[in-house]
């Protein structure tokens, strides 16, 4: 595992004349693409929702209609897609879990690897494809094999840090792929993140991300339960958070991202759980953890329970709220 420092400014300026493609301009993708622009890289971007492109276009990005057009005009392409995969058919398919992606393969009549981004149809030999979506490690390996057949290189580089870190270029990237290509990927990723960590073979970045998010989900549920119990026992929530954060119970969810409204400013719990990392996305990532745990026969009792809790939340009106709304969910559950 390598943790590399950012390349020099001169290296960036030399490469900045080469356009960088960007597919997926959602809550995470848009600020990531903006940071590429700020570092002097011409950006050629597209998104399934045209309105997502306007703000980026206004500050200098070139917006095109499809991933295939991105592939025609750029030989370094980043993708940041919450749950959408592009296929050889050119259609968009909403895939809430990688199991759906695998089922999709059987319905597409193409030789070799049937599943791939539609941009593969136009990708040039030597193109570097960096996927910052969070998907099953096995699917990343399938994508890498498909890219290799096209003469391209695919690397997985999922992120940790959320929307705030994306805006401030303080994301952590976990990168998997051919080590000889890592420096080329790292050059771009350091424009968008404070930490870029090489994790080994393709798929390893996804493995690290899935493990991180499983722990994050478990920790957030534990923090929400603890805060709720303390409040029921008559403790002031700010006081309880202060005690936790100077004691052995301290964790990221209590100290940086507290789920109780009124305890911290600048976090989703202070804004009716708007923004941040959606409950739907957390449920999706926990589903990936469950699938990989099943495939490797790894016991994850707390991870499995967390998965079920966030799935129930999605069906109870919390799908579009930040995942820290599990505190509100528990408060509502106690009243039933």
CATH number of the domain within which 137 lies: 3.40.50.720
Same domain (yes/no): 156, 123: yes
**Is 2 within the bounds of a domain?**
no
For 293, the domain range is: 208-329
pLDDT at residue 2, rounded to an integer: 53
Same domain (yes/no): 260, 190: no
Same domain (yes/no): 216, 283: yes
Could you please report the per-residue DSSP string of 12-67? HHHHTTS-EEEE--STTHHHHHHHHHHTT--EEEE-SSGGGGHHHHHTT-EE-SSH
pLDDT at residue 101, rounded to an integer: 31
| Closest-CA residue to 77 (of 24, 140, 114, 7) | 24
Same domain (yes/no): 262, 224: yes
pLDDT at residue 111, rounded to an integer: 31
Q: Which of 17, 34, 124, 209 is catalytic?
A: 209
Same domain (yes/no): 142, 180: yes
**Is 334 within the bounds of a domain?**
no
Q: Single out the residue in 137, 164, 199 at which a domain terminates.
A: 199
**Is 139 within the bounds of a domain?**
yes
User: What is the CATH classification number for the domain harbouring 260?
Assistant: 1.10.1040.10
| 54 a catalytic residue | no
> How far is 323 from 303, CA to CA, in rounded Å?
15
Q: Single out the residue in 143, 166, 199 at which a domain terminates.
A: 199
Same domain (yes/no): 165, 89: yes
pLDDT at residue 67, rounded to an integer: 84
Same domain (yes/no): 26, 52: yes
Conformation bin of residue 107: beta by default, left when phi > 0, alpha when psi is -120 to 50: alpha
Where does 62-152 show beta strands of DSSP type E? 62-63, 76-79, 84-86, 92-94, 128-131
Same domain (yes/no): 193, 218: no
Neighbour count for residue 317 (Cβ, 10 Å)? 12
Tell me the three state secondary structure of residue 165.
Answer: helix
> How far is 61 from 37, CA to CA, in rounded Å?
7
Relative to beta strand 159-160, strand 171-176 is antiparallel
**Is 239 within the bounds of a domain?**
yes
Report how far apart, in Å, the C-alpha atoms of 328 and of each of 45, 113, 177, 335 are: 37, 44, 40, 11
Same domain (yes/no): 169, 119: yes
**Is 1 within the bounds of a domain?**
no
Burial letters 110-119, b for 16+ CB under 10 A, else e: eeebbbbbbb
Report how far apart, in Å, the C-alpha atoms of 102 and of each of 78, 95, 98, 112, 314 are: 22, 10, 6, 14, 23
Average pLDDT by stretches of 10, the chain with 336 residues: 46 60 91 96 90 90 89 92 46 37 33 42 88 90 88 94 91 96 95 97 97 97 98 98 98 97 96 93 94 96 98 96 98 78
| Closest-CA residue to 132 (of 61, 221, 26) | 26
Can you give the pTM of this predicted structure? 0.83
Q: By CB neighbour count within 10 A (0-12 exposed, 13-18 middle, 19+ buried), where does 180 fall?
A: exposed
Residue 91 neighbours by CB under 8 Å, 6+ apart? none
Same domain (yes/no): 248, 123: no
Q: How many domains does the chain have?
A: 2
Number of helical H runs and strand E runs in the chain: 14, 12
Q: Single out the residue in 199, 231, 260 at which a domain terminates.
A: 199
| CB half-sphere exposure, 280, CA atoms < 13 A | 11
């Amino acid at each position: 595992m390598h943790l590399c420092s950012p390349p020099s400014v001169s290296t960036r300026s030399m490469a900045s004349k080469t356009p960088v493609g960007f597919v997926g301009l959602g809550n995470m993708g848009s600020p990531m693409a903006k940071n590429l622009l700020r570092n002097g890289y011409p950006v050629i971007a597209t998104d399934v929702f045209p309105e997502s492109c306007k703000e980026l276009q206004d500050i200098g990005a070139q917006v095109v209609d499809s991933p295939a057009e991105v592939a025609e005009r750029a030989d370094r392409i980043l993708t940041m897609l919450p749950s959408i995969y592009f296929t050889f058919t050119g259609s968009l398919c909403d895939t809430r879990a990688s199991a759906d992606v695998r089922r999709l393969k059987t319905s597409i009549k193409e030789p070799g690897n049937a599943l791939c981004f539609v941009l593969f149809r136009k990708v040039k030999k030597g193109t570097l494809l960096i996927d910052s979506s969070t998907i099953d490690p096995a699917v990343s390996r399938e994508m890498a094999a498909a890219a290799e057949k096209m003469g391209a290189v695919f690397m997985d580089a999922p992120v940790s840090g959320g929307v705030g870190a994306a805006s401030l270029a303080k994301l952590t990237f976990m990168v998997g792929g051919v080590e000889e290509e890592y420096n080329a990927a790292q050059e771009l990723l350091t424009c968008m993140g404070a930490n870029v960590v090489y994790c080994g073979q393709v798929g390893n970045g996804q493995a690290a991300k899935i493990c991180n998010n499983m722990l994050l989900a478990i920790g957030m549920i534990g923090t929400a339960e603890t805060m709720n119990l303390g409040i029921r026992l008559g403790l002031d929530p700010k006081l309880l958070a202060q005690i936790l954060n100077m004691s052995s119970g301290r964790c990221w969810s209590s100290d940086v991202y507290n789920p109780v409204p009124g305890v911290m400013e600048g976090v989703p719990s202070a804004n009716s759980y708007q923004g941040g990392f959606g409950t739907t996305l957390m449920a999706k990532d926990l589903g990936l953890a469950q699938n990989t745990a099943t495939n490797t026969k790894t016991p994850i009792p707390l991870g499995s329970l967390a998965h079920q809790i966030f799935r129930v939340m999605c069906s109870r009106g919390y799908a579009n709220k930040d995942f820290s709304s599990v505190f509100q969910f528990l408060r509502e559950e106690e009243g039933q």
